[in-house]
Amino acid sequence: MNCVMYVETKTRSIIKAISWRILATLTTMTLVYLFFHRLDLAAAVGVLEAFIKMVVYFLHERVWNRIKYGRKEIPSFVVWFTGLPLSGKTTIANLVYEKLKKDGIKVQRLDSKDVRSLFPEVGYTREERNRHIKRVGHLVSILERQGVSSVASFISPYKESREFVRKLVRNFVEVYVKASVEACMKRDKSGLYERAIKGEIKNFTGISDVYEEPVKPDIVLDTEKISPEIAAGIVYDYLKNRFIKNGRL
């Protein structure tokens, strides 16, 4: 026996709402006609009833929009993906970002490639990398204070800069996207790792520069064992349980 799951579409919901309104109005008209045996009166009452109820519903919604009772605030947060180059950070972060957007969460996507294009003069020494991550940390902290969450994916190889960002924001979620250098090299279509091994790329994380693994990350995703979709689901469920589902002031 096949088990089939159906999902209510927005179009179906709209059609159901309209059909219910028509049915309710026709019911009112029918009752008026049965009591008074006047078709003109039934039609007038039906039209008037439909109009009045739409106005009342509008006013009812406006009043409840001003009432805070029963509302749960979803706090803004920063999801910080860290890991070796080509460990899967960007792919997973993109999937999580799309899930959050579908939930109507105010969220901003920040990726190392996009942000670095805004600051082309930034180098790759330890000092320059730390300065760059701290700059991003200030940016996500501003967004957080404005009620906007962030999904950020940066190699961020050093503990000190990641801890700087953690202390800067209120709700920091560190996601360690774990993968060995060998696994990352297999995914490397552009030959970056090979160029780094040859010495053509300096300060390349995992080859000519160190990656300091997070000591106590909130989430560890081993991308050698799970797919990006499963990994994104793990992060999304964590965020939902910690922030979205429960909500807190």
Could you give the CA distance from residue 153 to residue 203 in angstroms, rounded to a whole number?
19
- CB of 154 closer than 8 Å to CB of 136: yes
Q: Could you say which DSSP state residue 241 is in?
A: I
Q: Per the structure block, which two tokens stand in for 207?
A: 């080859």
Phi, psi of 103 (to 5 degrees): -85, 0
Q: Which residues contact 214 (CB under 8 A, 6 or more apart)?
A: 82, 159, 162, 174, 176
φ and ψ of 125, to 5 deg = -75, 165
Q: Which residues are catalytic?
A: 156
d(CA 28, CA 42): 8
Q: Tell which residue, 173, 110, 174, 106, has the closest CA to residue 138.
A: 110
